[in-house]
Amino acid sequence: MKKSFLFLLAICIFIGNPVNGQVGKLLNKVSKSVTNDAVDKSETGSKTTKQQPEPKCACEQPDQIFDLGGTLKLMYSEINISIKDDGSILVKDIITGNFYIVKDGVTQGPIKAGDPRLEGFDNVNNSDASKATTSWANNEYITKSGEKFLIKFGGKNYGPYGEIKEFKVTKSKDKFAAVVVENVPVSEADGKKMEEAIKNAKTDQERMDLSMKYAQEMQQKMAQGGGPMSLVPKLVTNIPGASYDQLKSVGGTLNSNVKYDDILFTTYDKVIDLSNNVLLTLKSDAAGAKDLFINTNNTKYAYYNYGTLTFSDGTKLAELFNVRWVKVNGQAYLAYMYYSPKKNAIMQCKIQF
Amino acid sequence: MKILLFSFLLAAFLKSGWSQSIDYQELFGDDWKKAMTFEKENRIWIEPLLVKNHISYPLAISIIFPELVRYSALRDKMEITLLKALYVNLGEDYANFSIGQFQMKPSFAEMIREEAPSVLGHRSGIAFKNVSDFDDIKDFRKSIVTDLEEPKSQINYLIAFIKICQKNFSTCWKDEPSEIKFLATAYNFGFDKKDVEIENMIDKKFFNTKLIKTENYSYADVSIFWYKQYISISNPVR
């Protein structure tokens, strides 16, 4: 009885869940270790790894820009690869620590840290940097004369202007356009002084008197500086036929990147030339696009957003980056880059646009 | 004795007042507003998932709120196409970067996937595929990137993160704000660190929303600021 009971118990234990669970665990362990081995193999021996397909944006004859197989490594911050507006890429030798600049497939270097050629690689698309340029301190075409600004372009002088609101130069650096205000009734320094004085006034009457005094001074300055029209923003450019008029304009900001070697105004949903002609009206999906490109005939446009280049006919190219204009044999092309798993390299394609 | 007590109270007051003296809502302006809008618009689906997993809604949102602000500030400047391709093909050693609304890194997601089974039961409704479930490591990495680009799957990583931390570090916290400070720091600094290391990082200032770094702030401080705002709106003083 006792023996048979023990035997029965042993059988129950053997076929029961706890033992099965243990076997299961054991099998899991074995299968896991096998799969891990397989994974490890595929990871270490890159030749046995299943190759990812080329992205759909790959073209038939791409140019190889940068081979990632060597000791040179791309420089990237947490969210950005160091790429300049002209398409050059910053890479670093992981052994020596020297930098190299790769442009159009040609590697320049070694470059030591602190070299001026490295400037501009660390502030890609920084809106704060663009805000900071309103003082125009580092602009090679703008100088300050007293409280006013002067533009010197192509050997000619323009100005002086009380304020330069916008300033753009084409890629070929032969055309420029600026939105300026001839006279500013109150300079930034004066404004601060007035604000301070009004803030420190002890009575309402004192505040009122100061306001009246400053209003009078501003009126006088306006009269001396050419009247109220001198306070209206106007366009200054060397582009022939430009007739921008702030009062008739639908607004917009100057853009030297939307069309190859040209400067146009872009609004939320329109592209306008400097003579106030609407060249293109964007569909709702493209409205407000930051990186917009229009072709030479003003018949098509494309916009880039988060890795995808979308054309006005609805065509989409995905998994690409660094879209910009290039000129080959006098013809404008829209160039873009992508990563090729097949070559382990960054490649570039060009579309005639 | 009285003087000593007064000095002690004053020091404590100054200390607590110091860390909470910045008005982050004003400081981050529109980016804070956008993050608030995201929180309000998505609460409808986030809260039930947290409740199902017995996690306090303000606690979970406090942890990720600074990242929502950062995402709002940087979203137009992000160019992660190449980084994604590099991570999928070459792994985290080559490119480890923050993705999506909650700004999680692939390395963080990889660790979560590894540790989640020990804290998430079937009832959680959350199951992650591990590296062994894929024939190719690149497909595993692709699945991580896909998950991190979608808030509805990112929330699963947040739930798992909280559960893992509650299991590993729960002895450290005396109340919900202390738990938030700790978890927010672990979220930002790394939950694979020791509790002492995380505690030491709580007041350190490493958080910013700029590409070119200017002033840094304490991540946990930003979290607590949102939490206090949320609590004061939810339970107004009568």
End-to-end alpha-carbon separation of chain A, Å?
94
CA distances to B43, B180, B229, B232 from B235, in Å: 18, 18, 10, 5
Residues in chain A within 8 Å Cβ distance of B135: 38, 50
Within a domain: residue A167? no
- For every residue of A180-209, DSSP letters joined together read EES--SS-HHHHHHHHHHHHH--SHHHHHH
Position A327 scores a pLDDT of: 84
Is B81 inside any structural domain?
A: yes
Closest CA to A317 of A269, A289, A351, A340: A351
Please report whether residue A184 resides in a domain. Answer: no
Closest CA–CA distance from residue B231 to any residue of chain A (Å): 33
> Which amino acid does the sequence have at A262?
D
Interface of chain A toward chain B, CB-CB under 8 angstroms: 31-32, 35-36, 38-39, 42-43, 49-50, 52, 55, 68, 73-74, 76-81, 122-129, 290, 306-307, 319-322, 337-339, 341, 344, 346
Highest mean pLDDT among A22-26, A190-194, A304-308: A304-308
Q: Does the pLDDT value for residue B81 go beyond 70?
A: yes
3-class SS at A103? strand
> Comparing A93-97, A187-191, A313-317, B95-99, which segment has the lowest mean pLDDT?
A187-191
Q: Is residue B12 part of a domain?
A: no
Domain-embedded: residue A36: yes
Establish if B154 belongs to a structural domain: yes
B89 pLDDT more than 80: yes
Residue A297 falls inside a structural domain: no
Same domain, A43 and A72: no
pLDDT, mean of residues B144-154: 93
The pair phi, psi for residue B207, each rounded to 5°, is -90, 130
**pLDDT, average across residues A38-67:** 67
Q: Which of A28, A71, A76, A131 to mutate to test the interface with B (most CBs of B within 10 A)?
A: A76
Of A147-151, A242-246, B125-129, give the lowest mean pLDDT range: A242-246
Residues A26-42 have a mean pLDDT of 30
Span B52-81, average pLDDT: 88
Residues A302, A289 contacting (CB under 8 angstroms): no
Establish if B220 belongs to a structural domain. yes
Q: Which of A300, A321, A294, A326 lies closest to A309 in space, CA to CA?
A: A321
Whole-model pTM: value is 0.70
A14 within a domain of the structure (yes/no): yes
Is B82's CB within 8 Å of A321's CB?
yes
Nearest to A290 by CA among A266, A311, A264, A314: A266
For residue B95, the chain A residues in CB contact (below 8 A) are: 76
Whole-number mean pLDDT of chain A?
A: 76
Across the interface, whether the CB atoms of A125 and B81 are under 8 A apart is answered no
Split at pLDDT 50, 70, 90, the class of B18 is very low
Contact residues on chain B for A78, CB-CB shorter than 8 A: 97-98
Smallest Cβ–Cβ distance between B77 and the set A125, A319, A320 belongs to: A125
Q: Is A317 exposed, middle or buried (0-12, 13-18, 19+ CB in 10 A)?
A: buried
Q: Nearest to residue A53, comparing CAs of B115, B138, B11? A: B138
Shortest Cα–Cα distance, B48 to chain A (Å): 31
- Residue A79 domain flag: yes
The answer to whether residue A25 scores a pLDDT higher than 80 is: no
- The alpha-carbon gap from B76 to the nearest alpha carbon of chain A, in Å, equals 8
Domain count, chain A: 2
Give pLDDT, residue A22. 18
Contacts of B150 in chain A (CB under 8 A): none
| pLDDT higher than 70, residue B87 | yes
State the nearest Cα–Cα gap between B211 and chain A, in angstroms. Answer: 7
User: Domain residues for A32?
Assistant: 2-48
Average pLDDT on B14-21 reads 47
Q: What is the pLDDT of residue A98?
A: 81
Give domain status of residue A80, yes or no.
yes
Same domain flag for A71 and A36: no
Assigned domain for B215 exists: yes
Highest mean pLDDT among A166-175, A190-199, B23-32, B35-44: B35-44
Residue B206 lies in a domain: yes
Q: Which of B81, B134, B216 to mutate to test the interface with A (most CBs of A within 10 A)?
A: B81
Our count of domains for chain B comes to 1
Is residue B9 assigned to a domain? no
CB contact under 8 A, A76 and B97: yes
Contacts of residue B212 in chain A, CB cutoff 8 Å?
Answer: 122-123, 126, 128-129
CA distance B132 to chain A (A): 6
Within-domain flag for A104:
yes
Domain extent for B80 = 23-234
Task: Look at residue A64 and give its three-state secondary structure.
Answer: strand
% pLDDT > 90, chain B:
55
pLDDT above 80 (res A248): no
